[in-house]
A and B are shown apart, each in its own frame.
Chain A
Amino acid sequence: MLELEFENSVLTAHLSGELDHHSAAVIRKKIDSKAEMLKPKTLKLDYRDVQFMDSSGIGLIMGRYRQMSLMGGNVEVTNVPPHLKRMFSLSGIETLGVMK
């Protein structure tokens, strides 16, 4: 599930529930169409309420990172809960410099 919020050129996506290939496809489309419309400087992905995710949750970040780079913006990932930490460190996603 997804809630989007826009303020001061920051588009924040609050993700919640289960993030897999199925739900990530829906979420990606919604974020991308909002971002194309609003041209935010920063896209913030808030993982606080994500209860489950597989590597699709990492793919979602990598894909948005590419999209935002093309538009001259950046991505920030916030509030990764403890139970997702292993997936994040395994992915090496920190090297993108998006973890806040």
Chain B
Amino acid sequence: MKYINEVKLNFPAKSANEAFARSAVAAFTMQLDPTISQLADIKTSVSEAVTNSIVHGYKGAGGVIYITVRISDDNVLSVKIRDKGCGIEDIEKAMEPLFTTGGEERAGLGFAVMQSFMDSIKVSSKVGKGTTVTLKKKITKDDP
């Protein structure tokens, strides 16, 4: 497996950029010729991770979000979303469906969605340093 293409995005953690981030990743993914449903899965998952950095990582106070998107020669899309926010104390607990520290309007479903819509998710985090979420999905023709 070898990376054959890569793009990097840095942008301020403003909620107005959520749509930009998922659309940009989707545009880059087009070279793998994904299905509409695969593209929707990727957009939704990126939206979840970026929203988490804005809402939880930076607590709405702003900062920078760093995204690296890569394509490998075996047709795997990898999206790394990183913030330098507050970090996660207990990753396992944070990833439990319905768990949220975000109050009334958060569903606690972001990680569950990423897990279900992508092939794999890796979360690394350090309190006070920030969080990195890496999402992967193989884009194959015969897959729905």
Contacts and interface: CB of A to CB of B under 8 A. Distances in A.
B116 interface: yes
At the interface, is chain B mostly helix, strand, loop or mixed?
helix
**Which bucket holds chain B's interface residue count?**
20 to 34
Interface residues of A, number: 23
Interface stretch (B39-47, B75-83, B119-127, B133-141): B39-47
Nearest to A93: B107
A52 B18 contact: no
Given A54-B113, A90-B112, A20 B105 contact: no
A82 to B, nearest CB: 10
B40 A54 contact: no
Interface stretch (B1-9, B48-56, B86-94): B48-56
A58 B109 contact: yes
Most-contacted residue by chain A among B37, B54, B107 (CB, 10 A): B107
Contact of A90 (B16, B51, B104, B113): B113
Contacts of A54: 44, 47-48, 51, 110, 113
Nearest to B40: A83
A21 B51 contact: yes
Interface of B: 15-16, 18-19, 37, 40, 43-44, 47-48, 51, 54-55, 104-107, 109-110, 112-113, 116-117
